[in-house]
């Protein structure tokens, strides 16, 4: 069965890289699935006759294979240049002997000192899914502050997964009820994140502070990302007085269940050892997705650079994420002292809709990228 990611990747490849019109490529998806050609790598290794039998044109078949080989070569080169930081994260996070405190520390999201004036000048280039993830993981600091970062990342990724499937159904890329509608996850506790019901798995016995040095104990959930005026409502002093600190209760950490994987019995590699066999959205994959997803708008206008330029781009993406999270922090902290947790959760989705990147409607816009202005996010802050 072709996953959403594979389908998105292959359709984008046909339209953008192989220059095959969507109306020609889309009807061929089922035939490609039958031939086990559902990835760019598989297309690159296919023979011309196999592709020709599907598209009924030798020239088109050669065009597709040539594009697939070119893209595969480019991806291998890109993976090699960025392999070190990715491997470093996985080794740190998934090591068997790491304490919970060390795991949480390895998942830390980037932060940066920047003032509001600087933020208003920032425009990012991204697609919608990672923006939903950023909105959700920051929201959870305010609506579920007792959850450790690993849980917030997992729950936020569950929101992205549910939203992506709903979108895929609405534009005809997928059919039928979701795993949740089919009854998968029945009996598991649920929480609401951005007004979506998320099935969860309780992580009994997980203490995010276990193994921390005495000087580091107690996760600073409200560590400010930005410089703020001392008297402002979103400054650290003001935040220490609001309801976020007051509502913290000791409750089990949570995983966001991956119900679609549960239904389709996907690979065990997506399941953490501590989940009792149930597939969950891993914090590591959610963090990696955030780190790589936010380019500077100006950077998208240039051509591919050498390895040094690519490493600079990775650092730039990390800084961009920090700026985005900072803007979201300012948005949520401006409202949190004045409205209920439930209301804050409900409003988060409408705020996202107002600032998400503009893309083509329907299948053509699936996975499409656009501009996100941090000034638009900041304009949603509470006035007065």
pLDDT given at position 231: 39
Asked if residue 95 has pLDDT above 70, the reply is no
Taking every pair of Cα atoms in the chain, the longest distance, rounded to a whole number of angstroms, is 70
SS3 13: helix
Q: How far is 125 from 116, CA to CA, in rounded Å? A: 20
Of 108, 315, 134, the C-alpha closest to 223 is: 108
Q: What's the rounded mean pLDDT across residues 350-367?
A: 88
Between 1 and 230, the more confident residue is: 1
Given this model, what pLDDT does residue 213 score? 66
Q: What integer best gives the mean pLDDT of the chain?
A: 80
The residues, ordered by sequence, that sit 6+ positions from 275 with a Cβ below 8 Å of its Cβ are: 201, 255
User: Average pLDDT of 66-83?
Assistant: 72
Residue 176: the pLDDT is 83
Which residue reads 């220059």 in tokens?
Answer: 19
pLDDT greater than 90 at residue 80? no
Alpha-carbon distance values, 40 to 73, 100, 228 (Å) = 11, 38, 47
pTM (two decimals) = 0.65
- Segment 209-248, tens digit of pLDDT: 998 765 554 444 333 334 343 334 434 333 333 334 344 4
Which residues contact residue 19 at a Cβ distance below 8 angstroms, ignoring those fewer than 6 apart?
63, 67
Q: Which two tokens stand for residue 131?
A: 């923006």
Confirm if 335 and 181 have CB atoms less than 8 A apart.
Answer: no
Tens digit of each residue's pLDDT (9 = 90 or more) over 323-335: 999 999 999 999 9
277 vs 266: CA distance, rounded Å: 11
Of residues 47, 40, 45, the one with CA closest to residue 72: 40
pLDDT at 370 over 80: yes
Best-predicted range by mean pLDDT (46-55, 190-199, 203-212): 190-199
Q: How many helices (H) and strands (E) does the chain have?
A: 17, 6
Given a cut of 80, whether residue 105 has pLDDT beyond it is yes
pLDDT in tens, 5-37: 677 678 778 877 888 877 687 788 888 888 888
pLDDT interval class at 2 (50, 70, 90): low
Per-residue model confidence (pLDDT) at position 23: 67
Of the CA atoms within 13 Å of residue 307, those in its CB half-sphere come to 8
- Using one digit for the tens of pLDDT, what is the confidence trace for 137-171? 999 999 999 999 999 999 999 999 999 888 888 87
Q: Which residue has the higher pLDDT, 192 or 242?
A: 192
For 262-316, write each residue's pLDDT tens digit: 887 643 334 433 445 689 999 999 999 999 999 987 655 554 455 555 554 888 9
Q: For tokens 């990342």, what's the residue?
A: 153
Strands across the sheet containing 123-127: 295-296, 123-127, 369-373
Q: What is the reported pLDDT for 327?
A: 97
pLDDT for the residue numbered 160: 95
pLDDT-wise least confident of 4-8, 173-177, 379-383: 4-8
The pLDDT of residue 254 is 96
> Of residues 13 and 118, which shows the higher confidence score?
118
């Amino acid at each position: 069965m072709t996953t959403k990611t594979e389908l998105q990747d292959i359709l984008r490849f046909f339209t953008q890289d192989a220059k095959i019109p969507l109306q020609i490529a889309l009807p061929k998806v089922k035939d490609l699935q039958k031939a086990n050609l559902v990835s760019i790598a598989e297309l690159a290794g296919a023979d011309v006759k196999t592709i020709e039998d599907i598209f009924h044109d030798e020239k088109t078949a050669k065009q597709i294979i040539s594009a697939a080989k070119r893209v595969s070569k480019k991806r291998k080169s890109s993976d090699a240049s960025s392999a070190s930081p990715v491997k470093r994260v996985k080794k740190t996070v998934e090591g068997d002997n790491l304490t919970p405190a060390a795991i949480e520390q390895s998942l830390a999201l980037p932060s940066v000192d920047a003032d509001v004036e600087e933020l208003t000048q920032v425009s990012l280039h991204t697609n919608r899914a990672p923006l939903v993830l950023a909105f959700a993981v920051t929201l959870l600091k305010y609506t579920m502050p007792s959850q450790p970062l690993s849980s917030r990342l997992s729950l936020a990724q569950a929101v992205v997964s549910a939203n992506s499937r709903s979108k895929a159904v609405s534009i005809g890329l997928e059919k039928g009820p979701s795993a949740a509608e089919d009854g998968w996850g029945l009996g598991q506790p649920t929480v609401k994140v951005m007004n979506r019901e998320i099935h969860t798995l309780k992580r009994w016995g997980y203490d995010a502070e276990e193994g921390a040095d005495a000087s580091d104990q107690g996760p600073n959930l409200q560590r400010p990302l930005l410089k703020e005026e001392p008297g402002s409502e979103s400054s650290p002093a003001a935040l220490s007085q609001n309801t976020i600190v007051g509502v913290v209760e000791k409750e089990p950490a949570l995983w966001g269940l991956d119900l679609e994987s549960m239904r389709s019995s996907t690979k065990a590699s997506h399941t953490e050892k501590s989940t009792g066999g149930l597939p969950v959205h891993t914090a590591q994959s959610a963090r990696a997705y955030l780190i790589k997803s936010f380019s500077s708008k100006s950077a998208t206008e240039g051509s591919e650079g050498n390895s040094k330029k690519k490493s600079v781009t990775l650092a730039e993406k990390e800084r961009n994420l920090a700026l985005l999270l900072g803007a979201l922090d300012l948005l949520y902290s401006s409202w949190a002292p004045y409205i209920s947790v439930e209301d804050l959760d409900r409003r988060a989705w409408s705020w996202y809709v107002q600032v998400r990147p503009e893309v083509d409607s329907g299948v053509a816009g699936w996975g499409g990228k656009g501009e996100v202005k941090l000034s638009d996010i900041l304009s949603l802050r509470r006035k007065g």
